[in-house]
Structure 1
Amino acid sequence: MPHRATHRSRIVTELLMDIGNSRIKWARAHEGQIVGGARAASHDSLEHVFSEWRALAAPPDRVRLVNVSDASVAGQLSDWMTSHWAIRPETVHTPAMGGGVRVAYARPAALGTDRWLAMVGAKAAGYAPACVVDCGTAITVDVVAADGTHQGGLIVAGLAAQQEGLAQLAPALPRVEWSTRAPFLTADTEDALISGYLHGTALAIQGIVRRCMKNDAARLTPVLTGGDAPLLARYLDMDVCLRPDLVLEGLAQLP
């Protein structure tokens, strides 16, 4: 029998980045899906990021990023990729309509691109109508309807921001480490702070989500994302869908 040659199309890979206020998250993607999970590093650990990128079997074909921090971190990352991969990353900005989501803001560019992408990710995953809670340096809440119409949202201080603010106004109080098991009422100042941050923030999230549910005729799915989402989910007295990498999932959905 004559030999029939087979040709496999080359897999086109992307590297996606979410540059937040305090951390960088990145992941590889192929055909709209995250591959191998996301990685995270603080802004002062860029050499660790570069070391991991050097270890990749091959550079990506395309790089896209969302940046809600200052331009310096994105600039350092971009310079490294240009130098080592000859790739200039594409920065994504919030449109009035994109990824199946229609932004409620009169000036769409004023809505953090990470918030828009989290809604894109939630809708693509089949959660809409949804109440999307992004638990980062700031905790953002956005409601998106089944048809992708953004209903609006709100912003409160995240765990790290709460501690930084209290440290400035009450420097005598100790700094604390977050705990996966914290009692509600305590007899110790450090434990009382931990309880206040964790239980207080969780109760705030619950109250906001339930208020959104009460005000919306549709049955909303609560979706938690962001770096502190797995920790805060432990303290919630309600069922939520936990998707820590939802911003990257939304970024992967864009053409």
Structure 2
Amino acid sequence: MILLLDAGNTSVKWGLYEAGDIVTSGSFMHRGSNLDALADQSWSELQMPAGVYIANVAGEDTGQQLSGWITKQWGITPVFISTTGQACGVTNAYAVPEQLGVDRWAALIGAHFHHSGALCIVDCGTAITLDMLAADGLHQGGLILPGVEMMKHMLLKNTAVKSTSCTQEPANLFATGTEDAINSGALYMAVAAIDRMVADMAATPGAHTDVVLTGGDASRILTLLACPARHDPELVLKGLAILAGGR
């Protein structure tokens, strides 16, 4: 049994991988919180894993805190996965491979192994990333845009708009209050960007691409998309398992 950690900018998603499957998983928000206390709550009762593998895009400090807790709890030195030019049948399109976030790299590998054909992988987190992957595993490149919550915060920070809360889901497309208007605007901006990119890809002669969504905001974006898409909430963890040597 191994422990897989996807340390993002806002949350840490984790899973226990055993016998070819993620048997237990969970997540917690770490930004502005006591990471050691959150790790205690989530992992202190777990059986000691054979190894711990981490995809960390949350920064060096978060990586050090995770590593320190793991070493103190189990006497294990975790393995921090890094992006490479090629691995597990996938070829990185970036000229400088390590500039591609390791979470995107793991998602590409997980998608190539668990889904077939040409794919558009959309990770709906703090930032929204879209990556194109050919059926033969050749990464075509991608793009990055602000996530739903980041769009809301940027709007509130850079305008005189007064709002006490922007956490609720919009009840209607056209809002009658500031909070709902901000929620709807940010959510539909994300949906429109994804739909437009997929439409542009579909206009390419002979192109057929399946869309796979993952990340914390994937479920609410998925319901509004015009394009058909699949939801794979553990895609990054699945890719981590493959990079760690499991299947």
TM over 0.5: yes
How far is 1:216 from its partner? 6.8
Aligned residues: 240
Residues 9-37 of structure 1: CA distance to partner in whole angstroms, max 9, x if unpaired? xxxx100000101110110002442112x
Give, in whole Å, the separation in 2 of the partners of 1:169 and 1:68.
26
Is it true that 1:15 corresponds to 2:3 in the alignment? yes
How far is 1:74 from its partner? 1.5
Which residues of 2 match residues 12-91 of structure 1 at below 5 A? Answer: 13-36=1-24, 38-43=25-30, 44=33, 46=35, 47-56=37-46, 58-91=47-80
Q: Which runs of 4+ in 1 moved over 6 A?
A: none
212-221 vs 156-165, which moves further: 212-221
Give, in whole Å, the separation in 2 of the partners of 1:26 and 1:16.
5
Is it true that 1:104 corresponds to 2:93 in the alignment? yes
Residues 100-139 of structure 1: CA distance to partner in whole angstroms, max 9, x if unpaired? 1100001100101111111111111123310000000110
Give, in whole Å, the separation in 2 of the partners of 1:126 and 1:199.
27
Residue 156 of structure 1 is matched in structure 2 by 145
Amino acid at match of 1:30: E
Residue 135 of structure 1 is matched in structure 2 by 124
Amino acid at match of 2:23: V
Residues 40-96 of structure 1: CA distance to partner in whole angstroms, max 9, x if unpaired? 11112521322221111x210000001111111121111111111000100001110
Which one has the largest radius of gyration? 1
TM-score by length of 1: 0.89
Residue 126 of structure 1 is matched in structure 2 by 115
Residue 4 of structure 1 is matched in structure 2 by none
Q: Give the fraction of aligned pairs with identical amino acids, expressed as a percent.
A: 38
TM-score by length of 2: 0.92
Alpha carbons of 1:130 and 1:230: their partners in 2 closer, same or farther (altered >3 Å)?
same
Alpha carbons of 1:49 and 1:213: their partners in 2 closer, same or farther (altered >3 Å)?
farther
CA RMSD of aligned residues (A): 1.5
Give, in whole Å, the separation in 2 of the partners of 1:30 and 1:69.
26
Aligned 8 A contact 1:131 1:212 in 2:
no
Amino acid at match of 1:241: R
Give, in whole Å, the separation in 2 of the partners of 1:52 and 1:191.
33
Gaps of 5+ in 2: none
